Structure 1
Amino acid sequence: MKGLAKGLAITLRTMTRRSHTAHYPDALPALPPRSRGVIALFEENCTVCMLCARECPDWCIYIDSHKETVPPAAPGGRERSRNVLDRFAIDFALCMYCGICIEVCPFDALFWSPEFEYAETDIHELTHERDRLRDWMWTVPPPPAPDPAGEEPKELGAARKAVEKAEAARAREAAEPPAGEGGT
């Protein structure tokens, strides 16, 4: 009986309040800072490794590339070959926005953009090519600042130790007299 009374009280309290309706096209919603909207492509970082396409559970990423020969960097060196991106497309009609492609990209070529207004009237237009994916790159928010109370990344600690070691070696070399200038 007590539970029934409590439930009715909550219902009556809610019924007497005015409802709040968001007028969407006129007033845009306040999105969380790292919300998932659409996937953006930073084409310069893409090495056509195909990890994103292979790991995608929906197989909605299409990548085409070709190999190109690069001349040697130094005289006497050998020619290298590299992959050149011809096509990078994502079919958002199939995408389930899981983010696996973004997580597995070893070169930070894919990012979440908060853009969510990309509806189309035709389902075939939901396959977005690299030009459109590149345009969303500029809407990607910067990464959050590191926590000042958090521990330092191991990479920074190792780099700092290497710099300190090199400076100590330079200081020792500067303090020692050069060989052959002894006092006898």
Structure 2
Amino acid sequence: METIHLKKAAEPELTLSQWFKNVYYAVKSTAVGMGITFKYVWGREVVTIEYPEVREELPSNSRSRLFNDAENCISCLQCAVACPVDCIYIAAVKRPTDAPKIKTKDGTPIRLDLKQYTIDTALCMYCGLCTTVCPTECLTHTTDYEYASYTLASMKYDYLAPDIRAWRTRIVKS
């Protein structure tokens, strides 16, 4: 078997003056880079907020926690139908004919009694489709972003539960 030896191209010999030029350019380029870095480190305002003492104000059209104002929900099921991931669970029964007539805040008659309204936020992708089809605008995205959970089961919100209905005073601006 024949061995092929490749000859390395002859490198020019490094002189003392070339060595000092290389050191000079290395120090110069490092100093320029560090100057740019330090300009951004010490020359800018602090952008970090001191959470939770300082809370960030979100835009009014941000899509955070969903809230259903169950008092104004007509149980039309349009939000559940529009949801691409099926994370809204609704159950309603027809109101008795002799029951007193009730209406939503915008005057829409409520013909069904809402028995269950649950949203699984672990599945929700916050697309906003459910809020756009709601005829009474009772289902809305809020600017509430502090709702972390440790378990998936605790990410299901029953909007007929008394503790979640209490959110209404804080969220719904009448």
- Please state which band the TM-score falls in when normalised by the shorter chain: 0.5 to 0.7
Question: Radius of gyration: which is bigger?
Answer: 2
Q: Deviations over 1:28-77 (max 9, x none)?
A: 2232234332111111221111000000011100001112321398xxxx
1:111–1:137 CA contact under 8 A, matched in 2: no
- The reply on whether 1:103 has 2:132 as its aligned counterpart is yes
The equivalent of 2:58 in structure 1 is 31
Aligned equivalents of 1:25 and 1:101: distance in 2?
30
The equivalent of 2:97 in structure 1 is 70
3-state SS of paired residue (1:70): coil
Aligned equivalents of 1:113 and 1:72: distance in 2?
33
Identity of aligned residues (%): 34
Greater mean deviation of Cα atoms: 40-49 or 22-31: 22-31
- The reply on whether 1:138 has 2:169 as its aligned counterpart is yes
- After superposition, the Cα gap between the structure-2 partners of 1:39 and 1:133, relative to the gap in structure 1 and judged at 3 Å, is farther
Aligned equivalents of 2:112 and 2:42: distance in 1?
64
Instruction: Give the TM-score taking structure 2 as reference length.
Output: 0.63
Aligned equivalents of 1:41 and 1:31: distance in 2?
20
Aligned equivalents of 2:39 and 2:62: distance in 1?
33
Instruction: Give the TM-score taking structure 1 as reference length.
Output: 0.60
Aligned equivalents of 1:49 and 1:20: distance in 2?
45
Aligned equivalents of 1:72 and 1:116: distance in 2?
39
| Counterpart residue identity of residue 42, structure 2 | T
Aligned equivalents of 2:113 and 2:98: distance in 1?
15
The equivalent of 2:157 in structure 1 is 128
- The reply on whether 1:40 has 2:71 as its aligned counterpart is no
- Number of aligned residue pairs: give it: 131
Q: Which structure 2 residue ranges, 5 or more long, are not aligned?
A: 1-31, 101-109
- After superposition, the Cα gap between the structure-2 partners of 1:45 and 1:140, relative to the gap in structure 1 and judged at 3 Å, is same
Aligned equivalents of 1:91 and 1:123: distance in 2?
9
Compare the two structures and name the one with the higher helix fraction: 1
Q: Which structure 1 residue ranges, 5 or more long, are not aligned?
A: 1-6, 74-80, 144-184
1:33–1:141 CA contact under 8 A, matched in 2: no
The equivalent of 2:121 in structure 1 is 92
- After superposition, the Cα gap between the structure-2 partners of 1:116 and 1:135, relative to the gap in structure 1 and judged at 3 Å, is farther
| Counterpart residue identity of residue 83, structure 2 | C
Report the alpha carbon displacement of residue 136 of structure 1 after superposing the two structures with TM.
3.0
